[in-house]
Amino acid sequence: MANNNFAKTKKEFLDYLRFERLLSKNTLNSYSRDLNKFSLFLKKNKKLDFKNIEKESIVSFLQVLRETQSSKSISRILSSLRNYYKFLIREEIVENNPFLNINNPKTPKRLIKVLTVDEVKKFLESIPTSSKLELRDKAMFELLYSCGLRVSEIVNLKQGNIDLNEKIIFFIGKGNKERVCPIGYQALLHLKTYIFNARPKIEKGRSNFIFLNKNGKRLTRQGFWKVMKKYAKKLGLKKEFYPHIFRHSFATHMLENGADLRIVQELLGHSNISTTEIYTTVTKKHLKDTYFKYHPRETER
């Protein structure tokens, strides 16, 4: 009977999420899968009543989850159940949320992957400049690293975003907040070459976008990804290559060379400095590696 009541309240909860919270179908499916795991646990432990479940039983449930689920998945399931019981309290079905004080499992911090300065240099210098598309690629990747841009910003970059005389790129973000990025010498040199010499030969019709594909249309994220993989494969770099790695590398290299954290925050366009602070973890590792490599008392081994 208790399980039937759980199924009934689960349906009411999902209806609430769908019609009142207006959550997407994918999110609703995720909630449903999470609640089904709890439902299965209740069915195997028929004496348990979801309305009066105690911490000891929740611990047993977590032990079952750990057999098949990652820490990240368990955290998500706990979040779903907290929201479910929050709904039950609102509907006056239960008085307390038994999952409220259950801590999420600790997940190991993932160090972001970055390229070394030499790896960035090798990548950029590996791009030839003999064709109009190669000139585009050279300008695109030089600019990507020079300004720490997101891939979405590169492919959506318009002529109005660039002031070649002032040597800056600017964007208007949330709340009409302007973000300004200086353009480095090398990036500016290749960007001018592309805009004035190569881009007119690629453009077909009028386009306000800076970086165009071979058909004269805006380069897509997928198109950018294909171009990047081509050069990475040609160079034979063993590191995992992904578009955001240039932005990560930009931030890390700036901090390693003494840039102020808040300046890097502004350059990246982070609204919260805690987002930028993830790069300090990498630079701490760099400091330790440098110390053990160059300290005179550490090299005498």
CB 237 within 8 A of CB 118: no
Q: Is 270 a catalytic residue?
A: yes
CB 194 within 8 A of CB 187: no
End-to-end CA distance of the chain: 72
Find the catalytic residue in 47, 109, 174, 238.
174
CB 41 within 8 A of CB 53: no
Q: Is 244 a catalytic residue?
A: yes
Beta-carbon neighbour count of residue 252 at 10 Å?
A: 25
**258 exposure class (CB count in 10 Å sphere: 0-12, 13-18, 19+):** exposed
Separation between Cα atoms, residue 108 and residue 5, nearest integer Å: 38
Find the catalytic residue in 244, 262, 284, 295.
244
Beta-carbon neighbour count of residue 277 at 10 Å?
A: 14
Q: Is 248 a catalytic residue?
A: no
CB 38 within 8 A of CB 58: no
Find the catalytic residue in 190, 199, 247, 248.
247
Find the catalytic residue in 122, 150, 167, 217.
150
CB 85 within 8 A of CB 99: yes
Q: Is 150 a catalytic residue?
A: yes
Q: Is 253 a catalytic residue?
A: no
Q: Say which DSSP state 96 is in.
A: S
Q: What angle do CA 141, 146, 150 make, to 5 degrees?
A: 65
Find the catalytic residue in 84, 145, 194, 279.
279
Q: Is 247 a catalytic residue?
A: yes
| Catalytic residue positions, numbered | 150, 174, 244, 247, 270, 279
